[in-house]
Homo-oligomer: A and B are copies of this chain.
Amino acid sequence: MHSLAEISKILNGEIQGDSNILISGLSSLDKANNEHLSYINNNKYINELANTKAGAVIINKELSKECNTNALIVENVYLAFAKASQIFSKKTTYNEGIHKSSVVNNSIISSNCSVGKNVVIGKDSVIGSNVVIGDDVVIGSNADIAPNVCILNKCIIGNNASISPGVVIGSEGFGNALDNNSKWHKINHFGRVTIGDNVTIGANTTIDRGTLKDTEIHSGVRIDNLVHVAHNVIIGEDTAIAGCTGIAGSAIIGKRCLIGGGVGILGHLNVCDDAIISATTTVYKNITSAKTYTGIMPIMLHNKWQNVSMWLTKLDKIIDYLNIKLRNLKEK
């Protein structure tokens, strides 16, 4: 527990309200209780600010007028949040074998595993060699967890999971705030990864935990090898994602989507239910219709590509030279 005054000193902030309240951790505006410190970095969360139960909120001067709870006023909210995240995190340590507080039922835990505190594993699961399971993890029944997998603190995995070797679940998200000297400050992540029932995850895929909320993989999802799922991503039921695809932070993918291999989905985007994305396509805007989308540079003989790509970089000038206007191209 840290007083708001102590925290304010580290964050170089100004307190509006009670500087003596005690803070035990961080939470999002909508989930915080009165021991939590939250933050608001964007006017679109103004309703959540109005209704928050947080003990205090990191906020800028302007928005502080709208704050009904204690405010910690700073210039750079995101940077202050990064520093706060460092106050409340601590390094995880790992014990040998199965901690005595954990329940693994009749499941098989193979050699050289580390199973943390308060872990629950359902019936008939098999955990391969060298698997590391952090504290407070829950794994359902009939799971098949291959060797060398890491499932870190607080992550939740449903029944019938099939997780291939080298998978990492619950790694730190890629969140960093810049200060005025162009130095990064790491944001420590407190959310979980929650995985539904009947999910399969391919070899060496990585799924980062959420910042304050959870990264969510819903039931029935299929993920192939070497896929990167960033913090706060939500993947809807029964969506399938092929190998080498990367999904950036806070993207929300619908149900029953088919996402090809090598796809890149940028952060904070939405992909609607039943969308199909061709392999190696980059998704840089929302997908709002359940159709098939493609963005692949055509493959050519290299010499041909040199010519084509040279002219392609001048396409806007070519259009200008030809005096073509957008209205000329209307559908007939």
Contacts and interface: CB of A to CB of B under 8 A. Distances in A.
Given A129-B94, A228-B225, A321 B328 contact: yes
Contact of A281 (B299, B317, B326): B299
A279 interface: yes
Given A220-B184, A312-B312, A294 B302 contact: yes
A224 B171 CA distance: 10
A301 interface: yes
Interface in A235-262: 238, 240, 242-244, 246, 248, 256, 261-262
Contacts of A326: 314
Given A165-B152, A171-B164, A202-B172, A329 B318 contact: yes
Interface string A207-246: 0100000000000101011101010000000101011101
A174 B146 CA distance: 15
Interface string A187-206: 00000000000101011101
Interface of A: 91-97, 108, 110-112, 114, 126, 128-130, 132, 144, 146-148, 150, 152, 162, 164-166, 168, 171-172, 174, 176, 182-184, 186, 198, 200, 202-204, 206, 208, 220, 222, 224-226, 228, 230, 238, 240, 242-244, 246, 248, 256, 261-262, 264, 266, 276, 278-285, 291-302, 304-322, 324, 326, 328-329
